[in-house]
Amino acid sequence: MMETKVTTIIQARMTSTRLPGKVLMEVMARPLLSYQIERLRFSRRIDEIVIATTTNIDDDPVAELATKEGLTVYRGSENDVLDRYYQAARKSGCENVMRITADCPLIDPSICDQIAEYFFHHTMDYVHTGQSFAEGVDCEIFTFAALEKAWKDSTLKSEREHVTLYFRNHPELFTLMTIENAIDDSKYRITVDRQEDYLVVKAIIENLYKGNNEFFKIEEIKTFLELNSEIFAMNKDIVRNEGSLKSISEDAQAHTT
């Protein structure tokens, strides 16, 4: 049975430690978050987009942009991201949640749809893109029931900070699937976590953006980066998933001291 209702919740905040304010950094006088929202609206599977930000006054501009874009906004805990995410999902009344992070302004809606199609056809609890996809098109979808269990049972600090880590830590409790790309695109990095990332994404948008009637896909981004090796090289040495690796390491150290 095919279920069509998908709510995408974008977690977004201004107080990033590595690049503060990154979600609203501008390219061509427009915030990165606005580009991401526009791209997600091309999805065939997404019915609603919700912004989950914090109650921190620094995040007022995030809430204001979301309202301007006509989106629902939920404001919650800055540090307990899982609680913020769960409360946003609960208030939206959704059954299925697609999680997107605001540091992926060049998210590819066709990949989001691919992940959603697999999720529904195979009746899974949680499906996500693997590391053979380019970093920055990361997408994951899960049931509200699975999210609620994680919210109730997660105790590790890393699991409260990274919404879906509990699923991966407890594969015995959920039906999980990692979808790998047809080819290995792991060398491409189009997320925004550091200044070098911003410069890469800025160059991509300035050269490929086609207006709000069409979105450019990952294949076009890859071609652009291959043809512009100096831009490609700007952020190629940054560690993938740096934030989550740091949190997991800190948890491990806490349990050994």
Q: What is the CATH number of the domain that holds 55?
A: 3.90.550.10
Rg (the chain; Cα; Å): 17
251 pLDDT higher than 70: no
Report the pLDDT value the prediction gives residue 253, as an integer from 0 to 100: 54
> How many structural domains does the chain have?
1
Q: Say what the pLDDT of residue 1 is.
A: 42
Give the residue carrying structure tokens 């407890």: 170
- pLDDT tens by residue, 141-176: 999 999 999 999 999 999 999 999 999 999 999 999
105-128 exposure pattern, b = at least 16 Cβ within 10 A, e = fewer: bbbbbebbbbbbeebbeeebbbbb
Does the residue 1 lie in any domain? no
2 in a structural domain: no
Residues in the chain: 257
Give the Cα separation of 143 and 88 in Å (integer).
Answer: 14
The 10s digit of each residue's pLDDT in 34-91 is 999 999 999 999 999 999 999 999 999 999 999 999 999 999 999 999 999 999 999 9
Q: Which helix (H) or strand (E) holds 222?
A: helix 218-227
Share of the chain above pLDDT 90, in %: 91
Q: How far is CA 166 from CA 54, 152, 153, in A?
A: 21, 11, 9
Q: Note down the domain range covering 48.
A: 7-254
